[in-house]
Amino acid sequence: MPYRVARSAAATEGAVMRTADVADWLDERRAAHRFEVERIPLAELDGWSFDGATGNLGHRSGRFFTVEGLRVTTSGGPRWHQPIIKQPEVGILGILVKDFGGVPHFLMQAKMEPGNRNLLQLSPTVQATRSNYTKAHKGADVKYIEYFTEPGRGRVLADSLQSEHGSWFLRKSNRNMLVEATGDVPVHDDFVWLTLGQIGTLLRRDNVVNMDARTVLSCAPLPDGDGLALHSDTELLSWFTTERSRHDVHAERVPLGGLPGWVRGEWSIERADGRYFGVVGVGVRAGSREVARWTQPLFEPKGLGVTAFLTRRIGGVPHLLAHARVEGGFADTVELGPTVQYTPGNYAHLTGPDRPPFLDLVLGADPRRVRYDTVHSEEGGRFLNAESRYLFVEADEVPLDPPPGYVWATPRQLTRLLRHNHYLNVQARTLLSCLTAGAVAL
């Protein structure tokens, strides 16, 4: 299968729809349904309320998710308090795959998410929490869910548990799946078959392919063939195990009410200094979703993020500089992330060595060294207008022996880790999806 997936990545035109027609098709799907999102005061969240004892924000059904407080302490590092989304159930992010003319195509969905700035983006075939596909919301059935929950409906190409945003979710994982369908697959109005290469072309455009699709696509099996890596796979795993072992991270759930440094107002819960993010409320109307109308809280970041892999050739082989990141919501202390993963505005008051490592190198990079630069939305179902600039930046000046917490690895070494659970964070997976789909070549 890896060579067939590579063939799909090389196919920038498909058997079902021309790449040039995808934008018009998305506009048609956007026009076919009513989509409205408006900010509302927190008190107008229907079915949601603040617990009288803890101040935690939850739904009357006891399902979906809660917004709670989190206290994080790290060994020899920072300590902080923050709101966190607690959603312990494991969702399914799944893409159906089927051959057309000998080329694998991927069944993508035009899906509305209330937090996306442009609302509708390409998503996986199935993007559903357990509450969704068990119909806790009493809505319509999730289309195609049977291919991912009923054994024997197709051939599994990839299946692993991967984390969501560790900064905003508490130990949240989704099952990332690619399943090759056997037999005919009915295609509903909001779905289309595209090659991996077509998706790669779309990944060069701002806010077209959503986060959930990107994380699944990063798991697609591709042939090995990077060449000789600076570190062997065993050495890379040993380094990563050392990083996990040397970090002592204690994340403790605490009441949201009275959370130190945070203020609850009529419209939001925010830090007193206005940095990082806030918790806001929205009312939603969506004609193509399982439920047509609802309200919910969303996390809203303060500014555009910058997420980048520094890259250089070592012995003629492309390598990426990965960072062992500590985030309060991770299930296991650290995960591998990109070289840079920050919102610059949060660090504007810092100078010199207090600045985040490599951030200024990325921000000041000569455009001739930038191999990829596109804005992508983060999780539109839980975050409002959360966007990041995703970049690959050539940086031959970074030494082969980088600072502690950083390591050079080949793209294939990192994608091989995605066969297992909780090695790479969701931002790293987005950038790897761009390589997998051919949106960028190093």
Residue positions in the annotated binding site for dTDP-4-dehydro-6-deoxy-alpha-D-glucose? 48, 129-133, 167, 212, 262, 325, 341-343, 346-347, 379-382
Residues 6 or more apart whose CB falls under 8 angstroms from that of 199 comprise 106, 108, 122, 209, 213, 217, 437
Residue 196 and residue 220 in contact, taking contact as beta carbons nearer than 8 Å? yes
Q: Residue by residue, what is the 3-state secondary structure of 14-27?
A: CCCCCHHHHHHHHH
- What residue has token string 């699944």? 216
Q: In terms of Cα–Cα distance, which of 60, 81, 14 is closest to 256?
A: 81
What residues does 306 pair with on adjacent strands?
342, 389
Distance separating alpha carbons of residues 393 and 81, to the nearest angstrom: 33
Side-chain-side CA neighbours of residue 345 (13 Å): 11
DSSP 43: G
Other beta carbons within 10 angstroms of residue 390's beta carbon come to 26
**Gap between the Cα atoms of 338 and 324, Å rounded:** 9
Taking the C-alpha atoms of residue 69 and residue 280, their distance in angstroms, rounded to an integer, is 15
Q: Please enumerate, by residue number, every residue annotated as part of a binding site.
A: 48, 129-133, 167, 212, 262, 325, 341-343, 346-347, 379-382
As a residue count, the chain comes to 442
